[in-house]
């Protein structure tokens, strides 16, 4: 019968159901099988029916009748040496007479003192199961073998057992190859009884010699565990068992037996002892620390309070970040839709102003409507900045030079009651920013600082290098800090928490939109940095823009090439899924003298491109159902590699990591802006119905690809 779950299981007899369940749980977690016995009778039945080992608590059998159990153990066949792990609260036989008595009665006992580390128990169980498996293997092989010596050797090898025979009275030793390897010798090399004696550890020689003499004197089975030293100096453990073979006259002719390497089990026991020693040391340390228990409790309580406060701050920051992210997503979507509406309004107003009669009253009305649309466009740009969806051109910029160049504008904007001071050290690296948007952000922060000082004061703008290491809001790396510090009224903690929320303002009604700090925050995050605010009532406010350091040097400015005005009519494929915007844009294009072919989707546009229709330029929206503008541009290049493509988009909704090599036109735009952009692109062609190569497209700085 092959060993299986029932024959390898650990049979547990504990003093309490709780201890039994806990022990079984540890064993099962380690991948072994375990059964719990309610009493000794059930335990004996479980063991007799087949098991790998037994785990017994000494108090469970201290007063029990062990006659039946010891009888079963004594009547085991020669291959079996049923392993028992005895859990004791008073240590092993060297310190506990009761443990010594149980060890003698139960035979193959390994002691483990409670409390014990779970890994110690698991290690002992693993060693016992491995040993029991070898016993089962030996049993299986011995049942099938004949008395042939060759087959016997095969059985021993399969069971990882070495065979030996000691002939008397000359003490001539015959050892199998496996036995020799257990002593660290070559399997086919010589190995005498004297070699065996010399291999025994000096501290175990006397005990072994006494056991041999007792076997020769009484004829009892020879059984011993002892240490040996290999020729390489390493220490190992052997379990040697033998029986006397007698001559017809009753005298002992030889001792025949087997040996096995039990180094793994003994190593586990040594580790257990080390853990016990560690526990004893910890008990000693605990006793020494008891004298200062109150002080340590107070210190630990203070530490825990700090940890709780830190955790609460982190949770509050997370909730705030999630809230701002949700607001940003909602704001970005609203701003995008609003941009589309403004596109239609501004386009139609542009056309209406060109075609209406010369009536001053009508022109004032149209101009007023256009000014309102322009304000709406400015509002959407602030919303998109907060939502981190504005179209940015991040390039290396010398922040020191930028702030110095702005100083005159700032002084005019701040007025005579405000003193502006600059603290800009030399040698700072360039930052990776969008120049126009950063100037607007600095101006916003300066004006906020001015408004917080109604009686005048000092505003200081500082620049400093900074390394981010453990800031959860920033990637580790090099940054520049641009600080705007005022000595104004400051903000209360409640106001400071909401300062960057869109439309929140502490100013009187009509004095602000509540989007200034929101825009600055969104810009900083979109650039890969952060906005840090600190303030106290009556002590002023410090706003810090943390901006990433550029990996390249700032580019040398060069004059922009003059735009070549186009005097011809072009064929333009206009792709937009919004009928209102499509109609307005088509009217503006036709008013500029171009011929327009409309398409309501990407697939529709591709059908037109597959035809023989001559097309000079394709102008497409980006966000469209089914196929985006970028996907359409990529597909169009496979059909017409040299087709000029202009991407008209309301905000920077392009996917992360996208490298765009398309010229872009930001919505909403006026007809003059559309004309200028088309002149730039169509002016690169050689003539009507000839498109410029996509590789040669010039991208002006104010209409750059997204980075």
Measured at the alpha carbon of residue 527, what is the angle toward residues 526 and 530, in degrees to the nearest 5?
Answer: 80
Who wins on pLDDT, 505 or 571? Answer: 571
% of the chain at pLDDT higher than 70: 77
Please give the backbone phi and psi of residue 262, each rounded to the nearest 5 degrees, phi first: -115, 25
Q: HSE of 150 in the Cβ direction (CA atoms, 13 Å)?
A: 0
Contact 609, 640 (CB under 8 A): yes
CATH superfamily, domain 149-268, is PAS domain (3.30.450.20)
Mean pLDDT of 461-472: 87
How high is the pLDDT of residue 607? 93
CATH 3.40.50.2300 domain residues, the chain:
5-144, 571-703
Q: What is the 3-state secondary structure (H, E, C) of 186-212?
A: CCCCCCCHHHHHHHECHHHHHHHHHHH
Query: Is the pLDDT reported for residue 595 higher than 80?
Result: yes
Q: Is 390 exposed, middle or buried (0-12, 13-18, 19+ CB in 10 A)?
A: buried
Task: Say which residue, 4 or 552, is predicted with more confidence.
Answer: 552
CA 487/CA 542 separation, integer angstroms: 9
Report the pLDDT value the prediction gives residue 598, as an integer from 0 to 100.
Answer: 92
- Least confident stretch, 263-267, 390-394, 629-633: 390-394
Task: Name the phi and psi angles at 634, rounded to 5.
Answer: -65, -45
Mean pLDDT in residue range 362-378 = 64
| Bridge partners, 664 (sequence order) | 647
pLDDT in tens, 394-440: 789 898 888 898 888 888 888 888 889 999 998 899 988 888 888 88
pLDDT of residue 562: 52
Mean confidence (pLDDT) of the chain = 80
Nearest to 646 by CA among 665, 659, 628: 665
* pLDDT tier, 610 (very low <50, low <70, confident <90, very high otherwise): very high
> Looking at 329-343, 436-450, 560-574, 654-668, which range is the least confident one?
329-343
Three-state secondary structure call for residue 583? helix
Look-up of token digits 């006026």: 670
- Model pLDDT, residue 685: 47
Q: Is pLDDT larger for residue 556 or for residue 226?
A: 226
pLDDT reading at 321 higher than 50: yes
Q: What is the DSSP string of 506-541?
A: SSPTTS--S-HHHHHHHHHHHTT-EEEEEEETTTEE
Q: Is the pLDDT of residue 227 over 90?
A: yes
Band of the pLDDT at 702, cuts 50, 70, 90? very low
pLDDT bucket at 691, cuts 50 / 70 / 90: very low
Long-range contacts of 491-495 (CB under 8 A, 24+ apart): 491/533, 491/535, 491/536, 491/537, 491/541, 492/537
In sequence order, the 6+-apart residues with CB closer than 8 A to the CB of 677 are 646, 663, 665, 669, 703
C-alpha 707/C-alpha 700 separation (Å) is 14
The Cα 309–Cα 317 span in angstroms is 12
pLDDT: is 682 or 523 the higher one?
Answer: 682
Among 290-294, 386-390, 425-429, name the one with the lowest average pLDDT: 386-390
pLDDT of residue 98: 80
Q: Residue 236, SS3?
A: strand
Q: What is the pLDDT of residue 683?
A: 79
- Triad 351, 356, 358: Cα angle to 5°: 135
CATH 3.30.565.10 residue window(s) in the chain: 395-548
Tokens 């180094």 map to which residue? 263
Class of domain 571-703: alpha beta
Over residues 175-188, the mean pLDDT reads: 90
Q: Does position 510 have pLDDT exceeding 50, yes or no? A: no
Separation between Cα atoms, residue 478 and residue 521, nearest integer Å: 19
- Residue with the bigger pLDDT between 686 and 490: it is 490
Q: Kindly list the distances between the CA atom of residue 50 and the CA atoms of 43, 155, 238, in Å, as whole numbers in the listed order.
A: 11, 22, 26
Higher pLDDT, 313 or 206: 206
Mean pLDDT of 659-680: 81
Architecture of the domain defined by 5-144: 3-Layer(aba) Sandwich (3.40)
If one looks up domain 395-548 in CATH, what number appears?
3.30.565.10
For residue 690, pLDDT over 80 is answered with no
d(CA 408, CA 697) in angstroms, rounded, equals 37
398 CB-near residues (< 8 Å, 6+ apart): 428, 430, 554
- Confidence at 528, pLDDT banded by 50, 70, 90: confident
Q: Is-contact 547 399, C-beta < 8 A?
A: yes
CB–CB of 83/93 below 8 Å? no
Q: Which residues contact 410 (CB under 8 A, 6 or more apart)?
A: 420, 442, 443, 446
Predicted pLDDT of residue 703: 27
CA distance 12 to 14: 6
What's the whole-model pTM score? 0.35
Share of the chain above pLDDT 90, in %: 22
Q: What is the pLDDT of residue 689?
A: 39
Two tokens, residue 166: 């000691």
Q: 420-433 burial, b for 16+ CB within 10 Å, e for fewer?
A: beeebeeeebbbbb
Band (pLDDT 50/70/90 cuts) for residue 608 is: very high
């Amino acid at each position: 019968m092959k060993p299986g779950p029932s024959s390898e299981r650990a049979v547990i007899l504990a003093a309490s159901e709780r201890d039994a369940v806990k022990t079984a749980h540890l064993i099962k977690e380690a991948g072994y099988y375990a059964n719990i016995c309610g009493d000794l009778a059930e335990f004996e039945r479980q063991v007799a029916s087949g098991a790998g080992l037994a785990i017994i608590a000494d108090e469970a059998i201290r007063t029990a009748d062990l006659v039946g159990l010891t009888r079963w153990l004594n009547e085991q066949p020669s291959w079996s040496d049923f392993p028992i792990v005895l859990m004791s609260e008073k240590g092993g036989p060297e310190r506990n007479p009761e443990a010594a008595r149980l060890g003698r009665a139960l035979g193959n006992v390994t002691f483990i003192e409670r409390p014990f580390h779970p890994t110690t128990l698991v290690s002992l169980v693993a060693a016992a199961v491995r040993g029991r498996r070898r016993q089962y293997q030996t049993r299986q092989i011995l049942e099938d073998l004949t008395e042939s010596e060759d087959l016997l050797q095969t059985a021993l090898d399969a069971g990882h057992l070495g065979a030996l025979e000691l002939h008397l009275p000359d003490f001539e030793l015959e050892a199998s190859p496996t036995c020799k390897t257990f002593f660290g010798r070559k399997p086919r090399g010589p190995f005498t009884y004297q070699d065996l004696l010399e291999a025994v550890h000096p501290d175990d020689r006397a005990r072994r010699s006494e056991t041999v003499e007792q076997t020769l004197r009484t004829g009892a089975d020879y059984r011993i565990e002892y240490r040996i030293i290999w020729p390489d100096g390493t220490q190992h453990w052997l379990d040697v068992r033998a029986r006397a073979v007698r001559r017809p006259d009753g005298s002992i002719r030889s001792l025949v037996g087997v040996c096995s390497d039990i180094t793994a089990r003994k190593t586990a026991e040594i580790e257990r002892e080390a853990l016990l020693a560690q526990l004893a040391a910890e008990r000693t340390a605990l006793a020494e620390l008891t004298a200062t228990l109150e002080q340590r409790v107070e210190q630990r309580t203070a530490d825990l309070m700090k940890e709780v406060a830190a955790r609460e701050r982190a949770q509050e920051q997370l909730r705030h970040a999630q809230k701002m992210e949700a607001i940003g997503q909602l704001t970005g979507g609203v701003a995008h839709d609003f941009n589309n509406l403004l596109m239609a309004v501004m386009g139609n107003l542009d056309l209406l102003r060109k075609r209406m009669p010369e009536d001053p009253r009508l022109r004032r009305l149209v101009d007023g409507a256009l000014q309102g649309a322009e304000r709406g466009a400015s509002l959407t740009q602030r919303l998109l900045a907060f939502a981190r969806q504005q179209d940015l051109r991040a390039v290396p910029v010398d922040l020191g030079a930028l702030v110095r160049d702005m100083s005159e504008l700032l002084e005019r904007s701040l007025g005579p009651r405000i003193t502006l001071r600059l603290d800009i050290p030399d040698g700072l690296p360039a930052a990776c920013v969008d120049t126009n948007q950063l100037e607007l952000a600095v101006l916003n922060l300066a004006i906020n600082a001015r408004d917080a000082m109604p009686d005048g004061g000092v505003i200081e703008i500082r620049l400093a290098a900074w390394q981010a290491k453990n800031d959860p809001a920033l990637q580790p790396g090099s940054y520049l800090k641009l600080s705007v510090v005022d000595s104004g009224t400051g903000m209360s903690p409640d106001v400071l928490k909401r300062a960057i929320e869109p439309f929140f303002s502490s100013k009187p009604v009509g004095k602000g939109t509540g989007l200034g700090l929101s825009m600055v925050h969104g810009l900083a995050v979109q650039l890969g940095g952060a906005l840090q605010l600190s303030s106290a009532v009556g002590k002023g406010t410090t706003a810090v823009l943390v901006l990433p350091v550029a990996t390249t040097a700032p580019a040398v400015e060069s004059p922009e090439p003059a735009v070549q005005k186009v005097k011809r009519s072009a064929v333009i494929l206009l792709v937009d899924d919004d009928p209102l915007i499509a109609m307005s844009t088509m009217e503006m294009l036709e008013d500029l003298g171009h011929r327009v072919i409309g398409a309501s989707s990407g697939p529709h546009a591709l059908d037109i491109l597959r035809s023989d229709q001559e097309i000079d330029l394709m102008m497409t929206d980006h966000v469209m159902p089914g196929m985006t503008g970028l996907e359409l541009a990529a597909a169009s290049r496979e059909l017409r590699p040299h087709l000029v493509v202009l991407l008209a988009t309301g905000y920077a909704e392009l996917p992360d990591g996208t490298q765009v090599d398309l010229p872009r036109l930001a919505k909403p735009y006026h007809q003059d802006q559309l004309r200028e952009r088309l002149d730039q692109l169509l002016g690169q062609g050689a003539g009507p119905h000839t498109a410029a190569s996509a590789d040669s497209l010039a991208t002006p700085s104010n209409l750059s690809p997204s980075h």
